[in-house]
Every structure is written in structure tokens, then in C-alpha cells.
């Protein structure tokens, strides 16, 4: 299984903060936004990851993440020439994916929950086409919405409906079998001038190869593409970290727990890092 993080786009909803920097490099409380989707893939036990960015931001991502080895990862980079829709990630990343199945995650999405790691890994093992993750919301007109029948079977997908009986928003993480590559290449652009991920989801649904996992109580999901949602996510991260004493999306910690880095590796990495709260947290991990 390989992973893709789509971190392109123009970040227009966060203008002017995104004039000189990628949206996914903006801070969400104490770490860059890109750390959060990376941590989700790491919790799913995925180490081989492609980060898709704009040409003008690629060097910034390289400076932050490098080749991923400091997090126990193998990171690759590709450029999306212009925003062409979420499915374009499979065209940009088709050579990277090869014959593997793939997990796609949007670079501005944050998922949090104590059982998230096991849910993701179980879903990957059981996937027979596509698996999506939904989350109850109040403002359905802002999201792609999945409708279920009385048995819990997916029967309808609507893109930002004004009136919907369902409140299940489709979050920005998707598990696909390899045939998604060819499927994405056959898509036509919508009225927005982009291909739509909901069209791919509908195809799997029509083939009865779509699974849905609803993340309810005990989970939190943020689409941090607006100033308000970015602030809400930052407040949430701050509250959890301050009260419970552990960090969310600490990539070095996940790599250490997964056995991808040793304590010695971490000591070497942080020896020249600045003395701040993040570095002190890493020192505490080693001492414990």
C-alpha cells in the first residue's frame, strides 16, 4: 500500500496568508499543517508516500521534510501544474503508485481519534474497491455528502447539496484498489472545470465495491481550508496537548513507536535542534 498527500492548490480561501507560502505549510497550533495528514498515513503503517505540490512550493516542502528518512519514511515529490481536481492526484502519481493499492489524503485534513490507527489498518486489509470515511456535520452544503439506506448501504453521493436528508460528510482520506488509476483517467471535468472525487466514489458504489466507515463520537475531523476552521483546529490541538501532555501528529514519536527510528536515531537528529517545547518533548520521549 502506498500513500499520496495532495498538497497543491492555490489556497484561495486562506488568501492573503497563502500568497507566499503553501497552505499546507501554515501552522496548525505548534506544527505545520502537512504533519497531520502525514501522521495519519504513518498511523496506517504507510511509509512510502508521494507529496504532490505546486512547483513554487516544492523547495519549501523539501526543506521541511527532506527525503523523509528522519521520520522513518520514504518521501517522494511530484508537481501538479494546476488545480484539476482531487482525482488528478492519480494521474500525477500513477508511476509512483505502479501496481500498488493506494491511500489518498488531502493535505488540509486532520483526523484524530484513539482507535484511528486500527480502523485504518483494518479498512485497508478489508478493502475490495474503495473505502471512504464519513463524519456527521451540520452544514452539509459545504461538503460531499453520502446517503445510506436503512441497511447502511451507500446509495447516493451529492456534491455540496443545499438540502440533504443525510449529514454524513465525506472526509479527505480514501482507500482505493489500483484500478482507480485507470478510472481517474477516464473522468470528464465538471462545471467547475475540475474532475470530481465524488464521480469516482459513485462508480465504485454502482459496482457495489464501496465501503463506508462512519467516524462518530470519539473522533474529530477538520478541513482546515478556511481561516475559521484553521483556528478551530489549532484550538483543538492546543487543548488536547495542554491537558493530556502528549503531542498530536509528532512524526518522530510515531516513527519511534512503529520501530522505524531508534532512540539513537532520534538523539542524533535532535542534538542540533533548537531548544523549544517540541524538542523538549522529543527529549522526554527518549528519557522515558
User: What was the pLDDT predicted at 61?
Assistant: 97
The predicted pLDDT at position 58 comes to: 94
**Cβ count within 10 A of residue 12:** 10
> What pLDDT is recorded for position 10?
82
pLDDT in tens, 30-40: 999 999 999 99
User: How far is C-alpha 249 from the geometric centre of its chain's CA atoms?
Assistant: 12
What is the percent of the chain with per-residue pLDDT over 90, rounded to a whole number? 87
Alpha-carbon Rg for the chain, nearest whole angstrom, is 19
Domains of the chain, residue spans: 2-244, 250-288
Beta carbons of 53 and 80 less than 8 angstroms apart: yes
Which tens digit of pLDDT belongs to each residue from 164-206?
999 999 999 999 999 999 999 999 988 888 999 999 999 999 9
pLDDT-derived band at 244, boundaries 50, 70, 90: very high
Domain 2-244 has CATH 3.90.550.10: yes
Q: What is the mean pLDDT of residues 54-76?
A: 96
Model confidence, pTM: 0.96
- Give the pLDDT of residue 51: 98
Of the candidates 232, 211, 203, which has an alpha carbon nearest to the alpha carbon of residue 220? 232
pLDDT value, residue 191: 84
- Distant-in-sequence, close-in-space partners of 273: CB < 8 Å, separation ≥ 6: 279, 282
Closest CA to 79 of 107, 60, 53: 53
- Average confidence score pLDDT of the chain: 95
Neighbouring-strand partners of residue 28: 31
* Over residues 47-61, mean pLDDT: 96
Mean pLDDT along residues 6-24: 91
What is the percent of the chain where pLDDT is above 70?
A: 100
The closest alpha carbon to 131, from 146, 143, 141, belongs to: 146
Q: What is the pLDDT of residues 196-234, one digit of tens each?
A: 999 999 999 999 999 999 998 899 999 999 999 999 999
Q: What is the DSSP letter of 101?
A: -
Confidence category of residue 68, pLDDT binned at 50, 70, 90: very high
Read off the pLDDT of each residue in 226-245 and give the average, rounded to a whole number. 96
CB 83 within 8 A of CB 10: yes
Contacts of 195 (CB under 8 A, 6+ apart): 84, 85, 86, 87, 88, 184, 187, 188, 189
Phi, psi dihedral angles at 190 (to 5 degrees): -85, -175
For residue 50, what pLDDT is reported?
98
Amino acid at each position: 500500500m502506498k500513500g499520496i498527500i495532495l498538497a497543491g492548490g492555490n489556497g484561495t480561501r486562506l488568501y492573503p496568508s497563502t500568497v507566499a507560502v503553501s497552505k499546507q505549510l501554515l501552522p496548525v497550533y505548534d506544527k505545520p499543517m502537512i504533519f497531520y495528514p502525514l501522521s495519519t498515513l504513518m498511523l496506517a503503517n504507510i511509509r512510502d508516500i508521494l507529496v504532490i505540490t505546486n512547483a513554487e512550493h516544492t523547495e519549501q516542502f523539501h526543506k521541511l521534510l527532506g527525503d523523509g528518512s528522519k521520520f522513518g519514511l520514504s518521501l517522494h515529490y511530484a508537481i501538479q501544474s494546476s488545480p484539476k481536481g482531487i482525482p488528478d492526484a492519480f494521474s500525477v502519481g500513477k508511476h509512483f503508485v505502479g501496481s500498488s493499492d493506494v491511500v489518498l489524503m488531502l493535505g488540509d485534513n486532520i483526523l484524530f481519534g484513539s482507535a484511528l490507527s486500527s480502523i485504518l489498518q483494518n479498512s485497508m486489509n478489508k478493502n475490495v474497491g474503495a473505502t471512504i470515511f464519513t463524519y456527521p456535520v451540520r452544514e452539509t452544503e459545504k461538503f460531499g455528502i453520502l446517503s445510506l439506506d436503512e441497511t447502511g448501504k451507500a446509495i447516493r453521493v451529492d456534491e455540496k447539496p443545499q438540502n440533504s436528508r443525510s449529514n454524513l460528510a465525506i472526509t479527505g482520506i480514501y482507500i482505493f484498489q489500483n484500478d482507480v488509476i485507470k478510472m481517474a483517467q477516464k473522468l470528464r471535468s465538471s462545471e467547475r472545470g475540475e474532475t470530481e472525487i465524488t464521480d469516482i466514489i459513485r462508480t465504485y458504489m454502482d459496482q457495489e465495491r464501496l465501503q463506508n466507515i462512519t467516524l462518530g463520537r470519539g473522533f474529530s475531523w477538520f478541513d482546515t481550508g478556511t481561516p475559521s476552521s484553521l483556528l478551530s483546529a489549532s484550538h483543538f490541538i492546543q487543548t488536547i496537548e495542554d491537558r493530556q501532555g502528549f503531542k498530536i501528529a509528532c512524526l518522530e514519536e510515531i516513527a519511534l513507536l512503529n520501530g522505524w527510528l531508534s532512540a539513537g536515531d532520534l538523539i542524533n537528529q535532535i542534538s542540533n535542534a533548537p531548544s523549544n517545547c517540541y524538542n523538549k518533548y522529543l527529549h522526554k520521549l527518549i528519557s522515558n
